[in-house]
Structure 1
Amino acid sequence: MTERKCILSGDRADPETLVRLALGPNGEVLPDIRAKAAGRGAWIGVPRAELETALAKGKLKGALARAFKTGELQIPDTLPDLIETGLRKVLLDRLGLEARASMLLTGSEKIDVAARQGKVSLLLHASDAAADGNRKLDQALRVGQEAEGTDLAGIVLPVDRGALSMAMGRDNVVHIAVTDSRAASRLRAALGRLESYLGCATGAPVHGEQDSADAPGA
């Protein structure tokens, strides 16, 4: 797809980094996270805090009225929550797909071994993971990537172990190692959208070579 323009900031970006809003038949504006709804859409690429301000001050309604070419709009007060929930679901769904495709490892001991062998492309920690456990696996990642002495580390997800365990169909998922660089790129894209919306983007790189292959289960 070509670039899309954020109706609030005016910036243009790849639609995969933005959030599409769609107009329902009753005039209600709802998030179309996967950008598959029919009809005209409007795109936003600002963090949640900016969206909430635009919603409160009426700027969002004006921008949407221009985008949809109608003033008959119903913008739910919960729109910021709906977007966050949708972006979080996309990330969790992607984790579930990659888990079923055997692209992920869980369990600290297995991850430690794989990380030290340089087989981990992306390291993820639950939001409620213990700091000591994170540090040990981060160090193993640095050893395997020959990056000792740097600040290379796994990413602390904005998702707790309960949500991760449910998404992946496994018990007590606290740490996740992504062993395929293509899977890591797909997860990083889904995570990046959520982080950008929450205003906590890490920009952490994917380790290892990358190539273009279709996503499993996509």
Structure 2
Amino acid sequence: MKAATLKEGSERSCVLTRAVKAPDDLIRFVAGPDGTLVPDLRRKLPGRGVWASLSRKAVTEAIRRKAFERSLKTKVAVPADLPEMIDALMLRDVQQALSMANKAGLVVAGFGKVEALIETGRCLAVIAASDGAEDGKRKIGQAIRRAEAARESEGLKVRRLPVVTIFAAADLELALGRAHVIHAALAPGPAAEGVLSRWRRLVRYRTDDTAASDQNEPEDTTEPAGPNAE
């Protein structure tokens, strides 16, 4: 079968609500060779695709209503843990992107280096281990506020700095290939933007944010017709 392709600007509809959205606001699914429904996060798998809103709640409800089976018009096995599977795949996607950004030299680790990058005004995002000490999180917050205040005093535009908290320390160590990582930060660059793009999608999935938006950058949401199928 030929791999799926999407034209720029094309739209699809949610298998649950039939709302027409851009692909970035949806998740694509296909039936695998064994007849099991597979999430296609990169939108490249072959076969007829169906789409659901970028929302764990929407996927869960689509399973309950058997919307995937009706739309595909074929018998398909839908894993009961599909919402959790998608979450795990998206988390791994962010972790892999972070590893690539690190190889590109766009990641610094360690409280001192993170604080220094924040002070330069060139910090794209801060990454804090979810299981790190509360005192460390407080100090990072203070460093961010000091940098914002300094820019304001100079009459410069203040950009709210994203704080990514989806990783445990062990996940950060694995992604960065170094031990004892509690704080890290991203410097500007395409690979770092890729980390944030994937992170935002995961946060939107978890928080059931079915509308296209650029959140806080959050601290860490019957058969369709028309554009739903391909």
TM-score of Structure 1 vs Structure 2, range by shorter chain: 0.7 to 0.9
**Per chain length, whose mean CA-contact separation is higher, i.e. which structure has more relative contact order (CA < 8 Å, sep 6+)?**
2
Taking a change above 3 Å as real, the CA distance of residues 21 and 133 of structure 1, as seen in their structure-2 partners, is same
Within 5 Å, which residues of 2 pair with 1:69-84?
69-70=73-74, 72-84=75-87
Provide the aligned C-alpha RMSD in A: 2.6
- Provide structure 1 residue ranges, at least 5 long, that are not aligned to the other structure: 206-218
Q: Which moved more, 1:173-182 or 1:79-88?
A: 173-182
Within 5 Å, which residues of 2 pair with 1:182-201?
182-199=190-207
- 8 A contact 1:124–1:176 mirrored in 2: yes
Partner of 1:21: 29
- 8 A contact 2:125–2:161 mirrored in 1: no
Distance 1:157 1:189 in 2: 15
Distance 1:147 1:179 in 2: 21
- 8 A contact 1:115–1:143 mirrored in 2: no
SS in 1 for 2:83: helix
Taking a change above 3 Å as real, the CA distance of residues 4 and 172 of structure 1, as seen in their structure-2 partners, is farther
Partner of 2:18: 10
Select the residue among 93, 101, 106 that pairs with 1:103: 106
Q: Which runs of structure 1 show a deviation greater than 3 angstroms over 4 or more consecutive aligned residues?
A: 150-154, 181-184
Select the residue among 196, 203, 215 that pairs with 2:215: 203
Partner of 1:135: 138
SS in 2 for 1:7: coil
Q: Could you report, residue by residue, the CA deviation over 1:157-191 in whole angstroms, capped at 9, with x for unpaired residues?
A: 22211112112212122222111154443222100
- Provide structure 2 residue ranges, at least 5 long, that are not aligned to the other structure: 1-7, 218-230
- 8 A contact 2:16–2:61 mirrored in 1: no
Taking a change above 3 Å as real, the CA distance of residues 136 and 177 of structure 1, as seen in their structure-2 partners, is same
SS in 1 for 2:115: helix
Kindly tell me the number of residue pairs found equivalent between the two proteins.
200
Distance 1:204 1:181 in 2: 20
Within 5 Å, which residues of 2 pair with 1:50-65?
50-55=58-63, 57=64, 59=65, 61=66, 63-65=67-69
TM superposition shift of 1:51: 2.5
- 8 A contact 1:142–1:153 mirrored in 2: no
Partner of 2:223: none
TM-score by length of 1: 0.80
2:41 corresponds to 1:33: yes
Partner of 1:177: 185
